[in-house]
Chain A
Amino acid sequence: MSKDGKVISFINMKGGVGKTTLCLGIGEYLANFKHKKVLFIDLDPQFNTTQSIMDLTDNEENYMEDYRHRITVRKIFEDTKTISERPKTPEREEVILNFTNEPNIDLICGTIDIIKDDTSNKSLFKRLRKFISEHKLKEAYDYIFIDCPPTISFYTDAALFASDYYLVPSKIDRYSILGVKMLKTVIDNLVYDEDIQIKPLGIIYTMRKMAETKKASEIRIKFESDSDVSNLGIFENSTTIVNDLMFGYQGNISSKYQKSLEEIERITDELLVRLSEVEIIEDDISEDTEQLT
């Protein structure tokens, strides 16, 4: 049966807010606890999502020796070398990795080498969306999660252009409000230029302290009263600091530790509710337009 996949970007212009951990946490939970087929796309040159999945599937040596030279996201953005050459979408197996020990998780590897790639051909950022549609990946996966770099770049444009939705992991601190503001600008510009239909799913607070201090709550209230922030919406559930995710022997996979498992469970449930709500609104809108025509 063909699926109705959702492409979701995990994005914030601020680094170190837990994008990767949240992206992996929710994705792995959907794959292994909800039996969904999930594809991760690692567009961040720091490629921590890739490292984590390589560790999870015992492939770290294969990555260092083989995958990173051969099967990465770079293939998707490869430009033609001559004028007469026609661009060609790479085959699935040239880009997507499958794992026998994690059958519900597939990955398009990231690599630090993408920072060396020439992205001056401005239309190349559309390639990711093209790759997803040409291979009908939305019919093969329930969820496609894109881990984005924390900067305004070619790769953020590529991610947003390919996505149906975006999620904003954010810490509660002074600079996060600026990160969210900047993100809003980037997305507004892209929506204006490219006429895309990307929708926000909301902000998820990450790495909260168990007890919020008075000054932290002042910042949070200021943050939440910002109109861009309230338009994006804020998840009721959040994640707290879990040391195991940084140092634990099971890697930074939320479901491997009791506390983060409980948190990721609640966040994923809320995400699924939000997704279904957005879809209902979409259906209503399309019905309205049908009546009009």
Chain B
Amino acid sequence: MKTLNSLLNDLKDPKKQSDIGYTIGTVTLLIYSKEVFTNNKDIVPFLKEVFNISYLPYIIKSRTLICAKLGRELYIMDKKEIKTINSNLLNYFEINSKNNPLSPEKKKQKKNSNDKLDTWLKGF
């Protein structure tokens, strides 16, 4: 997958900016990305700030459902609204770049069971 930065850079491109397909695509890629949002609950403030939308917990439990619902919302927006969304998106990640999960100092991935095996192997 493209990095967060290259995704957002595409949104700055005026040609792509007015294309609703890019917005829906980028938002979907962002939501599916475990690097951008480690846990589903991290998506909640993103939805609120960028789209002013909140979903019930059963939707938040599934990234697929979030994308489906959000895609529908974006689909009925006009060009002006899409532009606002695009700039909201850029703002959101710029404001949050300090605590952006992709910034190197913050990048602390949870260890999975196979990583944890190293601790056991080292111990004996």
In the complex, the answer to whether B116 meets A60 with C-beta atoms within 8 Å is: yes
**Contact assessment for B113 and A248 in the assembled complex, using a CB-CB cutoff below 8 Å:** yes
Q: Could you tell me if A247 and B120 are in contact, using CB atoms closer than 8 angstroms?
A: no
Q: Which residue from A55, A61, A64 sits with its C-beta under 8 Å from B113?
A: A55
Residues of B in contact with A, size category: under 10
Q: Is B104 an interface residue (CB 8 A)?
A: no
Report if A251 contacts B (CB, 8 A): yes
Are A60 and B114 in contact, with the CB atoms below 8 A? no
Contacts of B122 in A (CB 8 A): 64
Q: How far is the CA of A151 from the CA of B14 in the complex (A)?
A: 72
* Partner of A250 from B112, B119, B120, B123 at Cβ < 8 Å: B112
A12 within 8 A of B: no
CB-CB under 8 A from A51, the residues of chain B are: 120
Using CB atoms and an 8 Å cutoff, list the residues of chain B in contact with chain A.
111-114, 116, 119-120, 122-123
Are B123 and A64 neighbours in the complex by a CB distance under 8 Å? Answer: yes
With A248-B113, A251-B113 given, name 6 new contacts (CB 8 A).
A55-B113, A60-B116, A64-B119, A64-B120, A64-B122, A252-B113
Query: Which interface residue of A60, A61, A247, A251 has the most chain B CB atoms within 10 A?
Result: A60
| B114 A249 Cβ-Cβ under 8 A | yes
State in angstroms the CA–CA spacing of A81 and B26 once bound together.
Answer: 70
B123 — which chain A residues lie within 8 A by C-beta? Answer: 64
Q: Mark A24-66, 1 if CB is under 8 A from B, else 0.
A: 0000000000000000000000000001000100101100100
Q: Please indicate the chain A residues that have their CB under 8 angstroms from the CB of B116 in the complex.
A: 55, 60, 251
A interface, CB within 8 angstroms of B: 51, 55, 58, 60-61, 64, 247-252
Q: In chain B, what residue has the closest Cβ to A54?
A: B116
Residue ID in chain B nearest A247 by CB atoms: B114
How far does the Cβ of A32 sit from chain B's closest Cβ, in whole Å? 16
22 inter-chain pairs at a CB distance below 8 angstroms, sorted by A residue, are A51-B120, A55-B113, A55-B116, A58-B111, A60-B116, A60-B119, A60-B120, A61-B119, A64-B119, A64-B120, A64-B122, A64-B123, A247-B114, A248-B113, A249-B112, A249-B113, A249-B114, A250-B112, A250-B113, A251-B113, A251-B116, A252-B113
* A250 / chain B contacts, CB cutoff of 8 Å: 112-113
* Nearest B residue (CB) for A251: B113
A255 CB to closest chain B CB (Å) equals 14
**B39 shortest CB reach to chain A, Å:** 14
Question: Shortest Cβ distance from B118 into chain A, in angstroms?
Answer: 9
Chain A residue with the shortest CB-CB distance to B123:
A64
A residues near B114, Cβ cutoff 8 Å: 247, 249
A251 to B112 CA separation, bound complex (whole angstroms): 8
Question: Quick one: closest A residue to B119, CB to CB?
Answer: A60
Q: How far is the CA of A251 from the CA of B123 in the complex (A)?
A: 19
Tell me the complex Cα distance, A110–B102, Å.
39
Expressed in whole angstroms, the Cα–Cα distance for A251 and B114 within the complex equals 8
A249 to chain B, nearest CB (A): 4
CB contacts (< 8 Å) of A247 on chain B: these are 114
A163 to B8 alpha-carbon distance, docked (Å): 61
Q: A248: which B residues are within 8 A, CB to CB?
A: 113
A residues less than 8 Å from B113 (CB atoms): 55, 248-252
A55 to B121, CA, bound (A): 13
> In the complex, what's the smallest C-beta–C-beta distance from B4 to chain A, in angstroms?
23
Q: Of all chain A residues, which has the CB nearest B112?
A: A249
Name which residue of chain B comes closest to A56, CB basis: B113
| Chain B residue nearest to A112 in the complex (CB) | B124
Minimum CB–CB distance for B76 against chain A, Å: 35
CB of B41 to closest CB in A, whole Å: 16
Max count, chain A CB within 10 A of own CB: residue among B111, B113, B114: B113
CB distance from B86 to the nearest CB of A (A): 35
Give the chain A neighbours of B119 by CB distance below 8 A.
Answer: 60-61, 64
